[in-house]
Amino acid sequence: MQISSSKTVLVVEGLQVNYGSVQAVRNIGFDVQAGEIFGLLGPNGAGKTSTLSAVEGLLQPQSGNITVAGYNLKTDPLQARANLGVQLQATNFQPELTVTEIIQLYAGIYGVPMTREKLQDTLIDIKLEDAARKRFGQLSGGQQQRVSLVIATIHNPQLVLLDEPTTGLDPQSRRQLWERMEAMRDNNHALLLTTHSMEEAEAVCDRIAIIDHGQVIAIDTPQTLVDKHRNDPEVISASRKGKITLEDVFIGLTGRTVRS
């Protein structure tokens, strides 16, 4: 699948998600461009997971439109999902299969030719050539995430969804995953990332949206949000180091209350 020349890969408009009488997502809207890492930030229960699930097509929103690579998720679901890759926080690959077997299996599922040379290049690219015959259950958390990401992108989707991909990883594994994400961005993919790490958002995201109580309350580049809110009293009171950070802005906008 070739990357589209269209600049906007994901459009979310007027998204509303209800669970019974509870309105989890309220009229959310944003877009993600080709060659961009877009971060979705928010406290627990803010609506991030519901938004991501709607974009993945795992739940039916009450209203709104989602367009992936020009295809409406409601009217053209197969085409929209064909342009979508998803890496979940927890991977569920068969633990007894080797890295090579998993890559070959999913290449076959997606109808992607996988020659011996291409397989070797893929293993080298994700720095797992020495672990090709290791069973998935024997891999470290960082290695498992690298396998998960290559499977999510094996069909070369225009949009890649990443749900807290670096949770629980050591600093070296996290940096390697960041480099993989940046390489995909440089190849003109669009990435939508959810994270609780403000450091991660500042390090890799080109733009971020902060969600609270089911609504987008701020959207811009990380540095612009810091500059825009650095003099807000709530942000200043949240600062612990004297220098205003994205985390200070996040707490100043969403409050200090711990969410369950």
Rounded mean pLDDT of 73-88?
Answer: 93
Beta bridge partners of 19: 22
DSSP class of residue 128? -
Q: State the pLDDT at residue 260.
A: 66
- pLDDT band, residue 90 (cuts 50/70/90): low
Gap between the Cα atoms of 75 and 104, Å rounded: 32
Q: Please, are residues 220 and 227 in contact by the beta-carbon 8 Å criterion?
A: no
Q: State the pLDDT at residue 5.
A: 44
Burial of 134 (0-12, 13-18, 19+ CB in 10 A): middle
Neighbours of 150 (CB within 10 A): 21
Q: Is 67 helix (H, G, I), strand (E, B) or coil?
A: strand
Q: Cα 228 from chain centroid? A: 25
pLDDT above 90 covers what percent of the chain?
Answer: 73
Domain ranges in the chain are: 91-157
Span 24-74, pLDDT tens digits: 999 999 999 999 999 999 998 899 999 999 999 999 999 999 999 999 999
